[in-house]
Amino acid sequence: MAAALSLSLFLLSSFTSLTDAQSISGLGVSGGSGPTGGIGDRHHPVLKAQSIITDALIASRPNQTRHLADGTPPVLLTSGGSPSSCNPYSVVVDNSKAGRQQEMVGFGHAVTDSTVSVFDELEPAVLHQLMEDLFGQDGNNMGFMRHTIGSSDLSGDQYSYDDNGNGFNQGRPDPSLSHFNLTADGTAMARLLALMGNYKGDVFLFGSSWSLPGWMKNNELLIAPNTGRNELNNSLNLQYIPSAITYFTKYVDAFKELGVNINGLTLQNEPLNYPGGYPTMYLDAADEAAIISQGLGLAMAQRGVKLMAYDHNTDQPAYPDRVFQGTNGQVDMVSWHCYQSPVADYTVLSDFHNLYPNALQFMTECTSYLPYPGQYSTWVAQHFISPVRNGASGGSFWVLGTDPNYGPKSPYGGCQGCQGSIIVNSSTTYTKTHDYYMIGQFSRYVRRGGVNYHIKTGWQGSQSSDQFYIMAVQNPDQSWAVIFLNTLGSDQDVVLSFTEGGQVWEGTVPNLAVTTWLLPAHGGSQNGNSSSSASTSASATTSTNASLSAFSSAYAGASASVSGGEARASTVVGAGGPMKVKWARGNLNSTASSSTMSGLVLASKCNAKFSEITNTALSIEGSSDKEARDEVAAAGHHKGKTSTTFITLEALSTTLAGAEVDAAEHHKGKTSTTFITLEAISTTLAGAEVDAAEHHKGKTSTTFITFEAVPTA
């Protein structure tokens, strides 16, 4: 079956792409009177560009790194604009109909018994502030939340909702679930989730079971004894399928009575991972499908609960396919975890979409294991962005809250180093860990109902290599939340454009960080950050990079050109990248430095290597011809041969006509015919100074000059 699925996935992925947008219409919310939405919805529109940054480094001291910190906002290049960077990193978002992908739900965490336990220790005022930090509109505003049904490895006490005995491993059969009871732990869980609704009223909440009650299993144990291997009889006894249906139905109803709407359900966490030491259970795909098709599907549909298949790693995509095939349309979603070895392959989500275009998909578990100060962690971003690229509508990380010792947790086995985003230290203090801020880069800015779009150009790297990951979501207010992960080794000067709509933005995406850009609809208010330079012209030369900006009418008589003709509002493009051009006419050559050039400053922004001076458009800026200043500055001191010399020039004269120069090698010549180190000694230069960066000798009529970057105003 798996081989057949793999073949079908390959054939489909070879001829189709992720272009049909999965809709989230019909999804419920957990309830509560709290505010809904947030920045990026129609009631909280993005009005100006913003950049928010969290560094990958886990800080070892206060204020060492950026945590959801404001960065320099990206700049909108107005109509006819071109980048200020010489070698920008190009990102292109396909915002066409073909590029439209899935609708988004949100990002968040899992509430475990450990979370409930440590939160319950907080004083009321402190708990209030914590809930604002997690769910408030000025906090992380998390909207996609998971919770554990019964106990898990992140539970101090082990239990199910119907143990029916003196202990979790001593239960007696109760086929009718007459002894169903949330217990004190389950009730505390429901109450915390109800409290969540007071801070955010539009959370999608789903429950995941780690194990059905022990008496429903072939080994009759909630927790199997051996922690080092899977237990073959740690599995569902199929005679209890009707009881399993009743169990899940009673759970949904019990939480409803306590003010919590369950919106989604995974029947079994990691059904193919069933060791001892904490609640686990093997559940074959056929058995999961049987529970759904024999009554759970109908019961959940009546209660508005969406069924989510699988809830395990990306290496077994045949499992959810079998569930979908066996349930006749009663399953709505697929849940994936990040733990495939050596790395998760999220392309299976794209393949699964091709098989089931309307199925919603989510990354529902990943954890930071034993994080430590000084470590660089991009785990959250890797396992949010890559699933979204392949069709996920959201993601939830593992445990939300723990104590400083990664607990309370099962004393028998399971994760012993899973740290929460929140560490509760005492009844009055808690710590927001690195994961809190990383999750906030997503949950704060991607709104429910936003649409993810395909990244056409710019995505780079894999889960096991240096990365430049990108996701671009258009929020309900038509603004964009564009999230970058950069581990390429250096900051990247990004130019972001869209296939439709004309907007072009530029800004810096720092290395070893996650950066979120908020881009207002239609450009918005730029708060003074904009560029008025010009866009690429088809007539641009291929041999020269230059920027021309003339502020003096005195330049009108000088000869300067782009590809031999007049150029207004165009861009010269060459090996060094595109550069701004405001004005050019004719052909600027080495004899054009006459009085017609007075009042101008010559400079290049891009350290570009200029080909033949007589066929070069130079960067020109200035303010008035009264300055009588011509300046050409070298990018640096470089050694070269007769065909490539780097020089610095500074002339304070209004005329160079007839000037004689004396070379370092004591050779007289004209500047238009000699390519050597020059030192002006003639009074005819009227004080002009020509100073070489390096001493070279030779003659040539072809000059290459590297100019220092001088930002255009």
**Over the stretch 387-430, which tens digit does the pLDDT of each residue have?**
999 999 999 999 999 999 999 999 999 999 999 999 999 999 99
| Of 144, 168, 151, nearest in space to 115 by CA | 151
Q: How confident is the model at residue 85 (pLDDT cuts 50, 70, 90)?
A: confident
DSSP string, 274-287: -BSSS---B--HHH
Which amino acid is residue 366, in one-letter code?
C
Report the number of secondary-structure helices (H) and strands (E) in the chain. 11, 33
Q: Let me know if 365 is a catalytic residue.
A: yes
Q: How confident is the model at residue 22 (pLDDT cuts 50, 70, 90)?
A: confident
* 672 Cβ contact partners less than 8 Å away, ≥ 6 residues apart: 589, 590, 591, 701
Q: Does the structure show a pLDDT above 60 at 71?
A: yes
- Kindly tell me the burial class for residue 259, based on how many C-beta atoms sit within 10 Å of its own C-beta (0-12, 13-18, 19 or more): middle
Write down all domains in the chain, each with its CATH number in brackets.
2-47+103-447 (3.20.20.80), 553-692 (no CATH)
Q: Does the structure show a pLDDT above 60 at 166?
A: yes
Distance CA 594, CA 565 (A): 21
Distance CA 588, CA 604 (A): 14
Are the C-beta atoms of residues 645 and 704 closer than 8 Å to each other?
A: yes
Distance CA 320, CA 272 (A): 12
Kindly state the average pLDDT of the residues 291-307.
99
Q: Does the structure show a pLDDT above 90 at 330?
A: yes
Kindly state the average pLDDT of the residues 106-120.
99
Q: Does the structure show a pLDDT above 50 at 531?
A: no
| Of 617, 598, 597, nearest in space to 705 by CA | 617
| Residue 675 structure tokens | 């390519």
DSSP string, 518-536: EE-GGG-B-TT-EE-----
Are the C-beta atoms of residues 391 and 19 closer than 8 Å to each other?
A: no
Q: Does the structure show a pLDDT above 70 at 300?
A: yes
Q: Does the structure show a pLDDT above 50 at 668?
A: no
> Mean of the per-residue pLDDT values for the chain?
78
Sign of CA dihedral 666, 672, 676, 677: positive
- Per residue in 621-648, is it b (16+ CB within 10 Å) or e — as a string? bbeebebbbbbbbbbeeeebeeebbbbb
Q: What percent of the chain has pLDDT over 70?
A: 70
Q: Does the structure show a pLDDT above 80 at 331?
A: yes
Distances (CA, A) of 68 to 6, 260, 443, 485, 574: 41, 31, 12, 14, 38
Residue 557: per-residue pLDDT: 30
Distances (CA, A) of 298 to 149, 290, 301, 332: 20, 12, 5, 13
Q: At what angle do helices 379-389 and 434-443 cross, to 10 degrees?
A: 30
DSSP string, 572-612: EEETTEEEEEEEEBS---TT--SGGGTTEEE--SS-PBPP-
Distance CA 467, CA 389 (A): 14
Q: Which of 365, 506, 621, 631 is catalytic?
A: 365
pLDDT digits (tens, 9 = 90+) for 581-598: 333 333 333 333 333 332
Distance CA 31, CA 203 (A): 8
Q: What percent of the chain has pLDDT over 90?
A: 66
Are the C-beta atoms of residues 635 and 707 closer than 8 Å to each other?
A: yes
Residue 528: per-residue pLDDT: 39
* 518 Cβ contact partners less than 8 Å away, ≥ 6 residues apart: 39, 40, 46, 49, 50, 51, 52, 445, 479, 480, 481
pLDDT digits (tens, 9 = 90+) for 626-654: 222 233 322 222 222 222 222 233 332 22
| Of 469, 437, 379, 375, nearest in space to 57 by CA | 375
3-state SS record for 91-124: EEEECCCCCEEEECCEEEEEECHHHHHHHHCCCH
Which amino acid is residue 196, in one-letter code?
M
| Of 250, 220, 248, nearest in space to 233 by CA | 220
Q: How confident is the model at residue 464 (pLDDT cuts 50, 70, 90)?
A: confident
Are the C-beta atoms of residues 546 and 610 closer than 8 Å to each other?
A: yes
Are the C-beta atoms of residues 169 and 214 closer than 8 Å to each other?
A: yes
* 611 Cβ contact partners less than 8 Å away, ≥ 6 residues apart: 543, 544, 702, 704
Give the distance from CA 505 to its chain's centroid: 17
Angle at 185 between CA 184 and CA 187, to 5 degrees: 65
pLDDT digits (tens, 9 = 90+) for 355-386: 999 999 999 999 999 999 999 999 999 999 99
Element (H, E) at 473: strand 468-474
Kindly state the average pLDDT of the residues 523-540.
40
Residue 79: per-residue pLDDT: 59
Residue 465: per-residue pLDDT: 80
Residue 81: per-residue pLDDT: 63
Which amino acid is residue 243, in one-letter code?
S
Q: Which of 270, 288, 506, 621 is catalytic?
A: 270
Residue 578: per-residue pLDDT: 39
- Per residue in 412-429, is it b (16+ CB within 10 Å) or e — as a string? ebbbeebbbbbbbeeeee
Q: How many CB atoms lie within 10 A of CB 553?
A: 10
